[in-house]
Amino acid sequence: MAAVLWKIAGETFDLAARGMLMGVLNVTPDSFSDGGEFFDTDLAVKHGLEMIEEGAQIIDVGGESTRPGAGGISEREERERVLPVIDRLRAAKTRALISIDTSKAGVARAALDAGAAIINDITGGRGDEAMMPLVAERGAAFIIMHMQGTPRTMQTAPHYGDVVAEVGEFFRQQYDRALSYGIDPMMIAFDPGIGFGKTLEHNLELLRSLARLRIEDRPLVVGVSRKSFLGNILGSPEAALRLAPTVALTALLRERGADVLRVHDVRPNRAALRIAEALGEMR
């Protein structure tokens, strides 16, 4: 199996050999999945450390809700939400990597100063012209995600001619743009943005076609955890019923080429990931 290398904070990870789990830590009052359960700094830090103990290699800290229909918040407010959490996670001297989920370069810079090593940008570098220069300057790992529209508008009749081809072309364009700023290609990863400006069928088509989305042997980050399209398939809006299908997809998507799985429930998804990898080694 060909190596899939991702360089983060001076260390190179071969994700073809062993996939990674990214634990979601929403420090927001209005997340679609946890409803502000970890908006309090103490609770957020406690939950982050619990996810690390359960096997998350990355903790993705986000201070601005990106649920469908969400409005924005100021850079100052976003910093005030995430920086105390990042500071305290780093103070715990954990080996886990910290990712900042933001599209604002000012927030990303402050998070890197506090100890984050990865910038996870839902706009793929389009939301703030200062983002890619910052990534290059600081040598941060960078996740380029695809989104059609904005969180406020993205689920208003999303349309594609060929969703896989268009997302793949977006990756290619943003990859070339990142290189033009001097970003190390080994530090770039891509996320197809499941649920971000996509219908149910768009989401399914992207998940069926992960192999077509890989460019230049870059890692693929995939987040399906607790998302509403799972409820649409099941015919039930209850978020509590989305854990089992999330875990099933973790195993399936690992086999289909996902390298980093972004999840809320670390322990069961870790089990699914490792079993999928063990079965892969037996073939």
Give the pLDDT confidence of 102-121 residue by residue, as tens digits.
Answer: 999 999 999 999 999 999 99
Which CATH number fits the domain that encloses residue 227?
Answer: 3.20.20.20
Q: Which of 123, 77, 88 is nearest to 103 (CA)?
A: 123
Residue 94 has a CB neighbour count (10 Å cut-off) of: 15
Give the pLDDT confidence of 164-175 residue by residue, as tens digits.
Answer: 999 999 999 999
Q: Please give the structure tokens belonging to residue 123.
A: 């706009």
Q: How far apart are CA 126 and CA 174, in angstroms?
A: 9
In a domain, 7, yes or no: no
0.85 surpassed by pTM: yes
**Catalytic residue among 81, 227, 254, 270, which?**
227
Residue appearing with tokens 């619990």: 50
The band of 124, judged by pLDDT with boundaries at 50, 70 and 90, is very high
Q: How far apart are CA 193 and CA 48, in angstroms?
A: 23
In a domain, 227, yes or no: yes
Residues 59, 23: contact at Cβ < 8 Å? yes
Q: Which of 257, 200, 246 is nearest to 223 (CA)?
A: 246
104 is catalytic: no
For residue 38, the model assigns a pLDDT of: 63
Q: Which domain holds residue 124?
A: 14-278
Task: Tell me the DSSP string of 1-48.
Answer: ----EEEETTEEEETTTS-EEEEEEE-SS--TTTTTTT-SHHHHHHHH
Say yes or no to pLDDT of 186 above 90.
yes
In a domain, 6, yes or no: no
State the chain's mean pLDDT as an integer. 92
Give the pLDDT confidence of 17-63 residue by residue, as tens digits.
Answer: 999 999 999 998 855 455 455 668 999 999 999 999 999 999 999 99
Say yes or no to pLDDT of 216 above 80.
yes
Give the pLDDT confidence of 230-273 residue by residue, as tens digits.
Answer: 999 988 877 778 999 999 999 999 999 999 999 999 999 999 99
Residues 230, 247: contact at Cβ < 8 Å? no
In a domain, 133, yes or no: yes
Q: How far apart are CA 15 and CA 13, in angstroms?
A: 6
**Catalytic residue among 88, 198, 262, 270, which?**
262
In a domain, 88, yes or no: yes
Q: Which of 135, 78, 76, 128 is nearest to 109 (CA)?
A: 135
In a domain, 3, yes or no: no
| CA torsion angle 193 199 203 206 (round to 10) | -90
For residue 196, the model assigns a pLDDT of: 94
In a domain, 4, yes or no: no
For residue 283, the model assigns a pLDDT of: 47
46 is catalytic: no
The tally of domains found in the chain comes to 1
For residue 166, the model assigns a pLDDT of: 96
Chain CA centroid to CA 65, Å: 13
In a domain, 1, yes or no: no
Chain CA centroid to CA 133, Å: 21
